[in-house]
Structure 1
Amino acid sequence: MVRTVRFHEHGGPEVLRLEDVAIGEPGSGEVLIRVDAIGINRAEALFRGGNYIEPVRRFPARLGAEAAGVVEAVGAGVGAGVTGIEAGRPVSVLPAFSMNDYGVYAERAIVPAAAVVERPDALGAVEGAAVWMPYLTAYGALLEVGGMRAGDTVVVTAASSSVGLAAIRVARHIGAVPLATTRTTAKKEALIEAGAAEVIVTAEEDVAGRLLDLTGGRGAEFVFDAVAGPGVVELAKAVAPGGTLFLYGALSGEVTPYPGFDLGMPALNLRTYTVTHETTADPERLRRAVAFVTAGLRTGAFAPVVDRVFGLEEIVEAHRYMEAGAQIGKIVVAVGGHR
C-alpha cells in the first residue's frame, strides 16, 4: 500500500485526501517510480475543481503530472540502459499523460516510460520536479510553434509564475527581448532580477500603450498569455503585424473574446497552446525540447525557481497557497523527507 493523494468529488483544496492505495507492478511500457518530490501545477487545481480542459472520468481521482524520484522497476518493452530508465536511476517525470490514467501525487507512482527522462546529476529531487513543465511549455510554444528568433520581442503575462520565469530565460537565451507583466508592484523587482527587460504593472499602467512605446510602435512579435479573459483585447493592440498571441492558460476565469474584429481585423494570429498536446505528445518535438532544456541546465542558462516546499501531508495547504497566487516560481511537495 502506498500513501496517495486522491479526491472523491470536485471542490476546493479541502477535498484532497491522503489515502493508502494498492499500486501493483508496472505494465508494458511503464515504470514504477519512488517519488521524492512533486511539482505542483495550476492544471491540477483546475482538474480537482472540475474546470480543466479534460473532465474527470471517474472517482476517486488522482492528481499530478510532474515529479522527480528514482526508478524502482521497469515494465516489459522498456529498453534498459537505452534512455537511462533502469532501476536505481534518478529521473524526472514529464507532463506527458492524462491524469485520468496516471498521477504522481504519491509516495510511489507508475507512469509511462515515455514520460520519464534521466535527471541531470546537478539537479536534486526538488529541482528535478520544478524544471520540466515550465521550460517545456515555454520552449514548445515560443520556439517549436512560434519560431521565435533573436531580436524578437515577447510579452510574458503572469510573469512571476514558473512558466513565466522560464519564458523570460528562454527568450534571453536566444537573444529575444522579454517584456513582463504583473498585476501589482509587489513582484516587479523580482522580475527585473529574473531577466525581464521591462515590467508593466497592469493595475496601474496602460498596457497596450506602454508595450507599443517599448517597441517603438511596432508591437511585439509574440505575446505569451496565461490570463486570457477580456484583457486579450489590450494585449492584441500591442501585437506586431503577423505576430502571435498565445493563450496557454485562463487564470482570469472569464470569457475570452476574439479581439480581431473590434480592432479592425489586424494581421493577428490568436491561438491556444497546451504542452501536453503539442510538445510532450510528439516524440520528435519532445526529443528536441529535452535536448534544448538539458543543454540550458548544463550551461546555467536555465534553472528552476522554487518558491516554497511543502510535505506530502501538507498537500491541502500547498494547493491553497497556489490558489492565493503570491508565489514567485514553482511550488514543490517533498516526499519522504527529500527537502
Structure 2
Amino acid sequence: MLLRRKLRMTLALTVTLAAALLGATGGSVSTAHAEEKPPRERQLLFYNHAYGVVDRETADAVEHSGYLRKFADFEVRTTTGSDGYTWTGRYLKGRETYLEIFGVGDVPDTPLGGAGLAVSTERDGDLATVLERLRDQGITDPVQFQQTRDFGDGVPVPWFDAVFTTDQYDAFGTWAMEYRPEYFADPRGKTEPASYPGDVGRERYLPDVYRDRLMRDVASVRLAVTPRDLDNTVPLLRAGGFVVRPTAGGGVVADRGGTTIRLDAVPRDRVGLRQFTFVLNKAVHKRHVERLGHSTLTVGPGPRAVWNFEERGRS
C-alpha cells in the first residue's frame, strides 16, 4: 500500500516508496548488524507484502501476461487511499502474502527503483506491543498513521494502522501494520470471517482464489536498499520478533516471520527489487520460464518458483 501522500499532507512526512530526501534519523542503527539469538518474545509481525517500481517495459509485460493470470490470483487495480491519493498496481496474491509491481508513472513523484515492505500483525492489539518494543530499542518517537480506503463513494473507510521508525527515507520504506475492524466489517472489502477472537490476520484479508492457481505464498523476498534505509528497517523487524542476521557486504537476512526477508546494502543508484521466491500449491514436473520485460519468472521443477529482476541499468 502507498502511504506517502497522506503523511506529506498531514504530517509533512515521506515514508513508503522512493523519495530522495535529505537528513538523517536519530533512531537509526549501525549497518554493522550483529548476529542475534532468537527472541524469547512471541512473534508479533509477519511478512505481508512487498512492492517495487520497475521500468515501463517490465510493468507492461507483467500487466499483459496471460501466464501470470494462471500462475497467481492476479489483479491490476487502481486504489484510492487517504486524501484521494491514488496508485495503480499489479498484484499477485497468495493465501497470506502478496506482492505489488508498479511501473514508472503509476505512483506520483516515485522514481524507478523505489520499493517498500509491509509486515503485519495477526492479532488485534499487537501493534501496541510493537511500539513498546521499538521504544525499548531507543526509537522514542516512531511515526504512527492510519490509512483509509475509498471504495468509490467518496467515504473513506479505516483500512489499517501503521507504524514507521522514522520520517526520513532514501528509496525504501518499511512499516508495521494492523488491519482495522471497520475494514473487515465492510462487505466491499470481501474479507473472511474471523477464525478466532481478535483475528486481524493476512489469511482473513486475502481471498481464496489462490487455491485455483499455482502460487500459494511468497517464500522469500530480496531487495537492494541504501544503508540508511536498511538502518531504519532493522529496529522494526526486531520489534516484530524477526531474527536478523548480517550478510556479507553489510546487508541482513530476517527470518521467523513466515517469509525470509533479505535486504542488500547498495548505493542509491542501485536500489530496487532483486528477487521473489514462491511456494506453489503443487509440484510442477516441467520447468517453465516466463520472460517479463527485464525480469524472468522460473517455475519448477518442483513446488517452487523464482522471479529474478535485473539490476537497473544492467542486463
- TM-score in terms of structure 2 length: 0.26
Greater C-alpha Rg: 1
Q: TM-score, normalised by structure 1?
A: 0.24
